[in-house]
Amino acid sequence: MPRDPFSSYIDLAAWRRTLRRWRRFAETAKTQDADVLLNAARQAAKLQPFLDRVADIAEEKAGRSPATSIDPDQLPQNTEWTWQPGPWKGRVHPPGIAGFDSGTPFGESVVAYHDCPLKEVTLRQKARDGKWAVTLDWTGFTGSYISTVIKLPQDAAKALCPKSVISLRGIFQSELGGECFVRLNIRNGPNVAQINIQQDFSDEIQLASFDLAYTRFNQERISGAWIDVIYEALPANLITLSDMTVIRNKRAEL
């Protein structure tokens, strides 16, 4: 029988004391000074990654964790490479950020940008329909743009060529509508080649695809690539991006 980490009397007693201490503190939190609360929050934040790690592994072994793989039948023909950015591959620490500055990272490979002076913008990760999803929520927005940027791995960026088709696959949803644009950027030397497409919001899985045969770039000088998902700066909105995956396939020869 596997050993319970709190099976010994001493371990169990220590765990119960710790649990009682945090429960009492939570019950009296509204009466505590701000400095005391901030110190407690910092201590809790140090524990959270370890607690989440245990929960992630337990859910994975029990078959309850959000799925991250793609059915091969859902991939385009001649698919060479697939990759899921951090927030759609595993749990992010912390799972949400609010009132953040433009250029703030959110998990591995994702950065959020905006120009709202009040910073009334929130990013959150959650499990949805058995997959990881990211929500972008804002109110009182007075800026001109808001976007999430997905940075491609360096080796994948350098593998791009005129025969490549890059696709961002997933579900793009908006509570209040508005426009959405997806833009592929390829840095080659001092230049950045760009391809823009308009993306519809829908409850269905879609592919935002870029055929690199229709843009000019120096393959030998590629130093990086990224995908911008740009949203119309409505005063308020709730965007949900679910099960996002980047796919590279080879364009069919004519």
R_g of the chain computed on alpha carbons: 22
CB atoms near residue 2 (< 10 Å) = 5
- % of the chain residues with pLDDT over 90: 56
Nearest to 80 by CA among 154, 159, 150, 151: 159
* Structure confidence by residue, pLDDT tens digits, 109-140: 999 999 998 888 999 999 887 889 999 999 98
Q: Residue 196 CA to chain centroid, in angstroms?
A: 21
- % of the chain residues with pLDDT over 70: 84
Domains and CATH numbers, the chain: 9-61 (no CATH), 72-250 (2.60.120.260)
Give the model's confidence band at 58: pLDDT under 50 very low, under 70 low, under 90 confident, else very high: low
d(CA 44, CA 22): 10
Q: SS3 of 58, please?
A: helix
Q: What is the mean pLDDT of the chain?
A: 86
Q: What share of the chain is helix, strand, coil (3-state, %, to 5)?
A: 25, 35, 35
pLDDT at 181 over 50: yes
Span of 46-60, 148-162, 168-182 with lowest mean pLDDT: 46-60
What does the DSSP 8-state code read for residue 155?
H
d(CA 87, CA 105): 11
pLDDT at 66 over 60: no
H or E element: which one contains 211?
strand 206-211
* Structure confidence by residue, pLDDT tens digits, 183-220: 999 999 999 999 999 999 999 999 999 999 989 999 99
In this predicted structure, what is the pLDDT of residue 105? 95
* pTM strictly above 0.85: no
* Structure confidence by residue, pLDDT tens digits, 10-41: 777 887 888 888 888 888 888 888 888 777 77
Residue 202 amino acid letter: S
pLDDT at 1 over 50: no
